[in-house]
């Protein structure tokens, strides 16, 4: 799975991209090729002052669902990434389940045709 990291001016630890890769693979690997593109945006709201200001936003383009976004604000980068990756995994699963349920429903025309087959 390919993903793109955009951090702007945020100062991120050197090992964070590896952590992001592991977390994204864990959260999204089960969806296989249906996940077409993943972008990770990191933003530090108030710079080096500290506090709950680390924003991690993950946007995934999923076949059949469009773009799905999960955003989290936390005090530390790894925690923000962990929570956002978990959230995007759950959201993709839920959206694909909705698509699957919609496709399972039989249209009224098909139901009538099954009751009155024409040979």
CATH of the domain at 69: 3.30.160.100
Which pLDDT band, with edges at 50, 70 and 90, does 114 fall under?
low
pLDDT at position 85: 97
Give the count of beta carbons closer than 10 Å to the beta carbon of residue 43: 17
pLDDT for 119 beyond 60? no
Mean pLDDT over each residue of the chain, to the nearest integer: 87
* Total domains in the fold of the chain: 1
For 25, the domain range is 3-115
Euclidean distance between CA atoms 58 and 35, whole angstroms: 13
Q: What is the pLDDT of residues 25-57, one digit of tens each?
A: 999 999 999 999 999 999 998 877 777 789 999
Which helix (H) or strand (E) segment holds residue 62: the answer is: strand 54-62
């Amino acid at each position: 799975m390919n993903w793109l990291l955009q951090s702007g001016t945020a100062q991120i630890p050197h090992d964070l991209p590896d952590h992001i890769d592991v977390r994204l693979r864990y959260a999204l690997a089960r969806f296989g090729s249906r996940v077409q593109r993943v972008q990770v945006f990191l933003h530090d709201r108030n710079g080096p002052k500290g506090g709950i200001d680390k924003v991690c936003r993950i946007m995934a383009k999923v076949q059949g669902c469009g773009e799905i976004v999960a955003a989290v604000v936390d005090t530390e980068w790894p925690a923000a990434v962990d929570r956002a990756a978990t959230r995007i995994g759950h959201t993709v699963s839920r959206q694909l389940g909705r698509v699957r349920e919609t496709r399972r429903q039989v249209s009224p025309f098909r139901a009538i045709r099954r009751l009155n087959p024409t040979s």
